[in-house]
Chain A
Amino acid sequence: MKARRSDQVSKRIAMGIVSGALLAIFSLPAQQASAPGQPAPSTNDSKPKTGNIGLYRNQQLAPDGPAAKLADGTPDLSGVWLGSGGSDADISNPKALKPGEQVVMLPWAEEVVKNRLSKQDPEANCLPAGIPRGSPYPWRIVQTPTHYFILFEGNIHSYRQIFMNGKHPDDPDPTWYGHSIGRWDGNTLVVDTVGFNDKFWFDYKGHPHTEKLHTIERYTRTDLGHMSIEVTIDDPGTYAKPFTTVGRATLMPGTELLEYICQENNQDLPKLQGPARGPGGQ
């Protein structure tokens, strides 16, 4: 028994070393600057500030300071973040839309929203949330010279890849996260995505989309600990006009991503009743 346990411990240590090495390789460009994911230890022995971030209590907060940059001057977005680019409960919530914007659905989409059930929500079925829907779980941005990655802790343990200065294929295969290309517009990372499937919901309410969906995300690190996110949603198959959602992410410098395999023990699904609705029934 002891030998088996020791074997398991050795395996875990080995896996930890391999994961750490991979992470270090992926993080190399980010670490050339101030490594915002892990702020440098304070030189005056003062404890880092703590506070609540989302569902998480007493978390280490980022110190005050300007947004980080890489050695070549590129804005550095790397680190563990919590937040998203809109309202996960209801994408049409005016508080999470750019001022003056409205979500105007085509008649078929209005019918769909009226008839969707909570248990049909891909999120409740442990399927990807798509764009821009977030979750209560953090995510990490990893920057390399050619690819940026977004690693999601949840809802499903998945990732997005953004091809920097790339081109969309002529006829992309429809996928949950689509095909994303990125470029810098000043200090803002602009991510252009097409090639979505029509499966994910924008929110708990069940706002739909078609394969014509085209999103443009704008990520701006406003200071060391915060990032603004705007997402323009253009889907002429579902909405009468494009609209732009607004959201924010907060850096979580004191944590690493943890494992979250949603499919493991999803006992909730058969118990969900009634129409699609927000977390508190709103």
Chain B
Amino acid sequence: MKLAFSRAIACAICLAWGLPAPAHHSGAAEFDSSKKIDLTGVVTNVEWTNPHAHFYMDVKDSIGNVANWNLELASPNVLIRNGWKRNSIKPGDLVSVTGVRAKDSSNYASAGVITFPDGHRLTFLSADEPAK
């Protein structure tokens, strides 16, 4: 009971600060909860890999310059159990992403919520609907 409690607390702290849920490293050591991102762009690549899945997206700024961002997700074993599929997001998809940026201020972030044009959403950990 005590362990379950401490895990729940750790998870709650991470989520409250916008940090990714506990993984193989400290989220607080990698991401800055004060550096929020809100990006819209087109997915260019997906890496369905461990210890984290990643997707990349081209984001245009107001004067048309394009930057490619690297967005981090949980690992495929966690995502699959929470309703994701390996093709839940794919190159060519137009998506909006909120999350937190890496402490080194590179174009690298933890993807908190991913929203598609039809309104359905994926998160760092889970899909809208549970696994079928």
Q: Which residues of A contact B (CB under 8 A)?
A: 54-59, 83-89, 93, 95-96, 118-119, 121, 123-124, 126, 134-137, 153-155, 204, 229, 246-248, 250, 255, 258-262, 264-269, 271-274, 276-282
Q: Does B14 contact A (CB under 8 A)?
A: yes
Closest to A280 in B: B13
Contact A246 B2 (CB under 8 A): yes
Interface of A is mostly: loop
Query: Which residues in chain B, 10-68, are within 8 Å of chain A measured between CB atoms?
Result: 10-11, 13-14, 16-17, 19, 21-30, 47, 49-52, 54
Cα distance A273–B19 in the bound complex, in angstroms = 15
Are A118 and B51 touching (Cβ within 8 A)? no
Query: In the assembled complex, which residues on chain B have CB atoms less than 8 Å from the CB atom of A134?
Result: 3
Instruction: Identify which of A88, A250, A266, A281 contacts B4 (C-beta below 8 A).
Output: A250
CB distance from A98 to the nearest CB of B (A): 10
Please name 7 pairs of A and B residues whose Cβ atoms are closer than 8 Å in the assembled complex, sorted by A. A55-B11, A83-B4, A87-B6, A155-B24, A268-B52, A277-B28, A279-B28
Find out whether the CB atom of B28 lies under 8 angstroms from the CB atom of A281. Answer: yes
- A87-B25 in contact (CB<8A): no
B115 interface residue (CB < 8 Å to A): no
Contact check: which of A85, A135, A267, A280 meets B52 at CB < 8 Å? Answer: A267
Listed residue (B4, B10, B51) with the most chain A CB atoms within 10 angstroms of its CB: B51
Provide the bound-state CA to CA distance between A258 and B6, in Å.
25
Check B126 against A258 for contact (C-beta < 8 Å).
no
Chain A: which residue is nearest B77 at the CB level?
A258
Chain B residues contacting A269 (CB-CB under 8 Å) are 25
- Total interface residues in chain B, CB < 8 Å: 50
B51 (CB) vs chain A CBs: closest residue: A262
Known contacts A93-B6, A267-B54, A268-B30: A55-B125 contact under CB 8 Å: yes
CB pair B74 A281 closer than 8 Å:
no
Most interface-central of B16, B17, B47, B49 (chain A CB within 10 A): B49
In the complex, residue of chain A having the shortest beta-carbon distance to the beta carbon of B25: A124
The smallest C-beta distance from B125 to any residue of chain A, in angstroms, reads: 6
3 smallest CB-CB distances across A and B, nearest first, come from A281-B28, A280-B13, A247-B3
By a CB distance below 8 angstroms, the chain B residues around A279 are: 10, 13-14, 19, 21-23, 26-28
Verify if B118 is at the interface (C-beta below 8 Å from A).
no
Q: Give the chain A neighbours of B28 by CB distance below 8 A.
A: 277-281
State whether A271 touches B54 (Cβ < 8 A): no
Cβ contacts under 8 Å, A89 to chain B: 6, 10, 22
Nearest chain A CB to B101 CB, angstrom units? 11
**A56 B102 Cβ-Cβ under 8 A:** no
| Chain B residue with Cβ nearest A261 | B50
| 8 A Cβ contacts from B78-132 to A | 78, 80-83, 102-104, 106, 108, 125-126, 130-131
- Which A residues touch B22, using CB under 8 A? 55, 88-89, 136, 279-280
CA distance A83 to B8 in the complex (A): 12
Q: Is the CB of B10 within 8 A of A265?
A: no
A59 to B3, CA, bound (A): 19
Docked-complex contact A280 and B27, CB < 8 angstroms: yes
Pick the contact of B30: A83, A261, A271 (CB < 8 A). A271
